[in-house]
Structure 1
Amino acid sequence: MPVRPLRAVPLLALLPLLSACATGAGGGSAEPAEPSPPPADPAVVLQVSEVGGFTTPAMLAGRLPTATVYADGRLITDGPVIAIWPAPALPNLQLHQLDDGGVRDLVDRALAAGVAETGDLGSPPLADVTSTRFAVRTGGELVTREVYALGVGSAPGRELETGITEEQAAARARLSELVDVLRNPADALGTDRVTGPEPYRPEAVAALVTPYVDVEPAQPEQPWPGPELPGEPVAPGVTCVTADGEAAQAVLDAAASASAATPWTSPDGTRWSVLLRPLLPHETGCADLIAG
């Protein structure tokens, strides 16, 4: 999934809370109101995602980033995937909370891993695999770097893959290690600096919709509880709707007893395949899934 353009914001925003004292008619000072906690900051400062590769248009649009770090310390990662068919209807997203300084630490590690560098990382002679895109915001500037087939030729000491030099293999290894750090932040920063992980509960869910194709064994139908299907086109043969608020809750509840192969039915009996894509804190709807 392409990385969405990120907002130009300071890496860590200082949010001062101001209170004013009012003087009453009798000359006394009123008690200052309790300050409200600052809202969560959905500004992305570091993200790793897979782009391209050979798959369906719905899978391309619905692909989730490997890891996303926000300015307020939230880190959302993809979690382990259970090896069953059909797969669960919802992906396993995990939410970590970093302590003060954790975001800066991870950004520093990204820069040390070479995300801001521009050297050639080689191109293994493989077809139809993904590229790993790294994006980091530092000094108000967004820097990105893509690596084709990152898992190939990223282990110095082993026999080099065709098209990969020793220097390139070492550079790939540093970036691979960064991915491991983001997926396991407590191992890298220490358990006292990371809270979680816990399941990520989205406030909105996008549904990528295609006509249903029968599978074997046949799957039980389930009424679609969200916005009217099929929605608006977002890719060849794929439409999309976004559920938020109570509709999102209804979809999440229904998805708990569904699978990726569930035929979802409209009130008129039409059956649909629905790829459920939880929206991340900086995303608002279907347009974010196709924004380049």
Structure 2
Amino acid sequence: MTIRAFALVIAVLLLGTACGRADDTAQATAASPVVGDDEPVALWQLEDGFVPPGWLAIRPPHVVVYADGRVVVDAARQLRLSPSEVSDVVSALDKDLTGQPPTATPHPGAPAVADVPTTMLGVRAGAGKMREVRVPALDEIGGAYDKQLYEARDRLARLAQRVTAEGQEYTADRVRLVAEDATGRTGKVRDWPKDVPVPPQPDPQSPVRTQDLSGQAANAVIRLVPHDKAQPFNWPVFVDASGARLALSWRYLLPHE
């Protein structure tokens, strides 16, 4: 073999190796999103539905998987996955949601259901934006959508069960305080807790106010505003300095919020 022919063979081999590495990198990028640790790479949450306005304001995502492996369920329980587990979850969800429209439409003949939440399923593959698919009444009308959507939800449901069983309590140094108008409500009314700010009311027509807090104000909310996890709709009523009656609740903010 001549020197020129030998050099040509080496060049071809190097090119093939480079292409193979490029393919491997592309596949790894698709399965392992390159984003900040506190950025969600998989998401399952409920939107809307016939629930009190305050609950719509305070309801957390049901499941959030973060790039660093942390999984938080209902802003209450957390567990950390290994990098390979995160990659598996993202790859599977990406496959489930590929080709789905932003809002899914039930198959012909599916029953109409009103006043129920819309399920939002999301996945971030590679360095792209979160792909979000909204599915109205997914939990109420089984079989009305492509099976991949049910598989995506069930995949995250199994993860939520694992986090709830094996994980630890989720806490944070930031909270979301929600106040709902309680004018005319009977029962015990408490004095406004010291060091807890009254959430502003940007919309006079809305019965709900929200404020995200950190530091001393967040600590005051955690200490002084009762939080009954067993009865999430049982909000204590307080009266502020103006005489307004407001039912209060709060939850820990998630890393990306």
- TM-score past 0.5 threshold: yes
AA of the residue aligned to 1:65: P
Are the structure 2 counterparts of residues 243 and 67 from structure 1 closer, same or farther at C-alpha, using a change threshold of 3 Å? Answer: same
Question: Structure 2 regions of 5+ residues with no counterpart?
Answer: 1-31
| Equivalence for 2:59 | 63
- Note if 1:72 corresponds to 2:59: no
Give the match's secondary structure for 1:175: helix
Are the structure 2 counterparts of residues 144 and 175 from structure 1 closer, same or farther at C-alpha, using a change threshold of 3 Å? Answer: same
RMSD: 3.0
Could you give the per-residue CA deviations for residues 131-163 of structure 1, whole angstroms, max 9, x where no partner exists?
1001111122221111111113336xxxxxxxx
Whether contact under 8 Å (2:225, 2:248) holds in the other structure is no
| Equivalence for 2:180 | 210
Whether contact under 8 Å (1:47, 1:134) holds in the other structure is yes
- Alignment partner for residue 11 of structure 1, among 1, 16, 33? 33
* Matches of 1:146 and 1:257, distance apart in 2: 30
Give the match's secondary structure for 1:138: coil
Could you give the per-residue CA deviations for residues 184-210 of structure 1, whole angstroms, max 9, x where no partner exists?
2469xxx9xxxx411111221121223
- Note if 1:93 corresponds to 2:76: yes
* Matches of 2:176 and 2:156, distance apart in 1: 26
Q: Percent identity?
A: 23
| Equivalence for 1:221 | 190
Whether contact under 8 Å (1:264, 1:273) holds in the other structure is yes
Whether contact under 8 Å (2:179, 2:199) holds in the other structure is yes
Deviation at 1:62, TM superposition (A): 1.8
Deviation at 1:244, TM superposition (A): 0.8
After TM superposition, the score normalised by the length of structure 1 is 0.63
Whether contact under 8 Å (2:77, 2:167) holds in the other structure is yes
* Matches of 1:128 and 1:186, distance apart in 2: 29
- Alignment partner for residue 99 of structure 2, among 107, 117, 122? 117
Whether contact under 8 Å (2:176, 2:250) holds in the other structure is yes
Whether contact under 8 Å (2:121, 2:153) holds in the other structure is no
| Equivalence for 2:251 | 277
Give the match's secondary structure for 2:132: strand
| Equivalence for 1:48 | 44
* Correspondence 1:1-292 to 2 at 5 A: 11-12=33-34, 41-78=37-74, 93-112=76-95, 114-118=96-100, 120-122=104-106, 124-141=111-128, 142-154=130-142, 164=144, 168=145, 170-185=147-162, 196-213=166-183, 215=185, 218-219=187-188, 221=190, 223-233=192-202, 236-256=206-226, 260-267=234-241, 270-283=244-257
Question: Structure 1 regions of 5+ residues with no counterpart?
Answer: 1-9, 14-39, 79-91, 156-163, 284-292
Deviation at 1:245, TM superposition (A): 1.3
Are the structure 2 counterparts of residues 172 and 152 from structure 1 closer, same or farther at C-alpha, using a change threshold of 3 Å? Answer: farther
Are the structure 2 counterparts of residues 241 and 74 from structure 1 closer, same or farther at C-alpha, using a change threshold of 3 Å? Answer: same
* Matches of 1:67 and 1:126, distance apart in 2: 24
Report runs of 4+ in structure 1 exceeding 4 Å deviation: 256-259, 267-270
* Matches of 1:56 and 1:246, distance apart in 2: 29
Deviation at 1:222, TM superposition (A): 5.3
Deviation at 1:121, TM superposition (A): 4.7
Are the structure 2 counterparts of residues 240 and 257 from structure 1 closer, same or farther at C-alpha, using a change threshold of 3 Å? Answer: closer
* Matches of 1:173 and 1:242, distance apart in 2: 34
Are the structure 2 counterparts of residues 272 and 153 from structure 1 closer, same or farther at C-alpha, using a change threshold of 3 Å? Answer: closer
Deviation at 1:281, TM superposition (A): 0.8
Deviation at 1:102, TM superposition (A): 2.0
The structure with more radius of gyration: 2
* Matches of 1:153 and 1:210, distance apart in 2: 32
AA of the residue aligned to 2:167: P
After TM superposition, the score normalised by the length of structure 2 is 0.71
